């Protein structure tokens, strides 16, 4: 067989080197088919668990979706929100912003089943990501192929939850917060649409209806009738810890009602209502309020983007989501 010229050998070597380099790079990235061979029943186990829990407790979908957001915003999507506190460390789940998340048991239950079916294979971080997709779809929203292959982190600090976007932030602060996670203005407005599901306690918004400022007792950006309703449910000296209000008028359905409510001054949080008062974001709110299909398309894209935040290949697959191995 004739030998190749030296220059062609070098060229062939470079091509082969690039092929294997790119192949290894692609393996390090998230993949929709990550568990196809190692645990093909993984998504069904998680979906069945989520469906069963949601039938038993209608609050589960909103809580799981919030869990995904709150996990990915702190240290990336590494399931650090699931770790229990220890005598020496207060974990994320016990910080004030996460005390109302609850429903951690749903992820734990799915993990227990997965450990029986495919031991030490499916990460807790991937379970949260798949469950978040499932609760959106169960609630009437879009579905998508979840990219998988995340590893679980080993650190969880309650003090770091101060970096979660607060319900009192203005648009500039929200844009800055999301930008730190590589998310743009449209991602921010789109993911805020997750507030179409769920309920909020008075503590997150009652400052808007009591002594709001020196000039106004009630936040002037609020619809007057809506504000009086909130004031009635959340009196100044509120003694009912369960008191609050739903995030939009169809709080158990994933739809674009959240955006329609913002346009008539019925955003529950000042951070939500601020999206209408700023030209950088109002046009997106208006577009989603008019076109639910557009919102769904953008929501899927932004969820996939958020799901890539801080993904590490250096973590572990926890055997129990509550504790490190």
Domain final position from 109, 134, 163: 163
Can you tell me the mean pLDDT for 223-230?
93
What is the H or E stretch that residue 286 is in? helix 279-290
- Asked if residue 24 has pLDDT above 50, the reply is no
Could you tell me what percent of the chain has a pLDDT over 90? 77
What total number of domains does the chain contain? 2
Question: Residue 317 domain-assigned?
Answer: no
Q: Are 152 and 183 in the same domain?
A: no
Say whether both 245 and 217 belong to one domain: yes
Catalytic residue flag (residue 33): no
In tens, the pLDDT along 256-269 reads: 999 999 999 999 99
283 and 236 assigned to the same domain: yes
What residues are designated binding site? 71, 76, 78, 80, 92, 165, 195-196, 248, 250, 255
Q: Are residues 157 and 209 in the same domain?
A: no
Taking alpha carbons only, the member of 42, 48, 80, 81 closest to residue 63 is 81
Mean pLDDT of 107-122: 97
Model confidence at 249, in pLDDT bands (50, 70, 90)? confident
Q: Report yes or no on 115 lying in a domain.
A: yes
Sequence ranges of the binding site for substrate: 165
In whole angstroms, give the CA distance from residue 106 to residue 60: 8
DSSP-derived letter for residue 232 is H
Residue 203 pLDDT grade (very low, low, confident, very high; cuts 50, 70, 90): confident
Q: Whose CA is closest to 53, among 117, 126, 104?
A: 104
pLDDT, the chain, mean: 90
Q: How far apart are CA 324 and CA 265, in angstroms?
A: 45
Strand partners for 244: 201
- Do residues 182 and 302 share a domain? yes
- At residue 12 the predicted structure's pLDDT band, cuts being 50, 70 and 90, is very low
Greater confidence (25 vs 14) lies with: 14
* Chain position carrying tokens 């227990």: 112
* 136 in the same domain as 239: no
pLDDT tens by residue, 79-89? 999 999 999 99
Confidence of residue 5 (pLDDT cuts 50, 70, 90): low
pLDDT value at 285 more than 50: yes
Answer with the one of 129, 163, 197 that is the final residue of a domain: 163
Residues 177 and 157 in one domain: no
- The band of 1, judged by pLDDT with boundaries at 50, 70 and 90, is very low
On whether the CB atoms of residues 151 and 317 are closer than 8 A, the answer is yes
Q: What was the pLDDT predicted at 284?
A: 98
Residue range 200-221: mean pLDDT, rounded: 89
Catalytic residue among 70, 102, 201, 210: 70
Instruction: Extract the runs of DSSP E, i.e. beta strands, from the chain.
Output: 199-201, 244-246
The domain that holds 106 is classified in CATH as: 1.10.520.10
Taking residues 280-297, report their average pLDDT: 98
pLDDT at 14 over 50: no
Kindly report which listed range (3-12, 59-68, 160-169) carries the lowest average pLDDT score.
3-12
User: Does residue 185 have a pLDDT over 80?
Assistant: yes
Asked if residue 193 and residue 107 are part of one domain, the reply reads: no
Is residue 79 a part of any domain in this protein?
yes
pLDDT above 70 (res 323):
yes
103 lies in a domain?
Answer: yes
Which region among 178-192, 272-286, 305-319 has the lowest average model confidence (pLDDT)?
A: 305-319
In a domain, 323, yes or no: no
**153 and 185 in a common domain:** no
Reported as a single tens digit per residue, the pLDDT across 36-76 is 999 999 999 999 999 999 999 999 999 999 999 999 999 99
- CB neighbour list of residue 231: distance below 8 Å, 6 or more residues apart: 209, 210, 218
Say if residue 91 is exposed, middle or buried (CB neighbours under 10 Å; 0-12, 13-18, 19+). Answer: buried
Residue 74: half-sphere exposure toward Cβ, Cα within 13 Å? 29
The whole domain housing 108 covers: 41-163
Query: For residue 325, what pLDDT is reported?
Result: 93
Q: How far is CA 207 from CA 128, 167, 195, 249, 269, in A?
A: 32, 11, 19, 21, 10
Residue 138 CA to residue 178 CA, distance in Å, equals 27
Annotated binding site for Ca(2+), which residues? 71, 76, 78, 80, 92, 196, 248, 250, 255
Q: Is the pLDDT of residue 280 over 50?
A: yes
pLDDT confidence band for 247 (50 / 70 / 90):
confident
Q: What's the average model confidence in pLDDT over 305-310?
A: 92
295: CATH:
1.10.420.10
- Residue 23 included in any domain: no
Is the residue at 19 inside a domain? Answer: no
- 191 lies in the same domain as 159: no
Asked whether residue 318 is assigned to any structural domain, the reply reads no
Last residue of a domain, one of 163, 198, 217: 163
pLDDT beyond 80 at 8: no
139 and 198 share one domain: no
Quick one: 178 and 293 in the same domain? yes
């Amino acid at each position: 067989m004739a030998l190749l010229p030296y220059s062609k050998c070098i060229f062939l070597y470079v091509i082969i080197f690039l092929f294997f380099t790119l192949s290894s790079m692609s393996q390090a990235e998230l993949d929709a088919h990550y568990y196809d061979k190692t645990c093909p029943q993984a998504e069904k186990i998680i979906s069945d668990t989520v469906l069963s829990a949601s039938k038993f407790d209608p609050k589960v979908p909103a809580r799981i979706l919030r869990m995904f957001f709150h996990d990915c915003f702190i240290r990336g999507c590494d399931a650090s929100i699931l770790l229990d506190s220890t005598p020496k460390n207060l974990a994320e789940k016990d910080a004030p912003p996460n005390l109302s998340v609850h429903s951690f048991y749903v992820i734990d239950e799915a993990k227990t089943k997965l450990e029986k079916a495919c031991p030490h294979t499916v990460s807790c971080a991937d379970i949260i990501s798949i469950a978040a997709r499932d609760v959106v779809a169960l609630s009437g929203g879009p579905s998508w192929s979840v990219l998988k292959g995340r590893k679980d982190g080993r650190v969880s600090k309650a003090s770091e939850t101060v970096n979660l976007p607060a319900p009192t932030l203005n648009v500039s602060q929200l844009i800055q917060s999301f930008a730190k996670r590589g998310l743009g203005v449209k991602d921010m407005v789109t993911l805020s649409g997750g507030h179409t599901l769920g309920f909020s306690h008075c503590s997150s918004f009652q400052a808007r209806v009591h002594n709001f400022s020196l000039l106004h007792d009630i936040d002037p950006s609020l619809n007057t009738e809506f504000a009086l309703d909130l004031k009635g449910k959340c009196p100044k000296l509120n003694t009912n810890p369960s008191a609050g209000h739903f995030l939009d008028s169809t709080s158990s359905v994933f739809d674009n009602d959240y955006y329609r409510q913002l346009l008539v001054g019925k955003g529950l949080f000042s951070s939500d209502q601020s999206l209408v008062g700023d030209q950088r974001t109002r046009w997106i709110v208006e577009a989603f309020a008019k076109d639910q299909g557009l919102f769904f398309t953008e929501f899927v894209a932004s969820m996939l983007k958020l799901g890539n935040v801080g993904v590490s290949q250096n973590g572990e697959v926890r055997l129990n989501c509550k504790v490190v191995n």
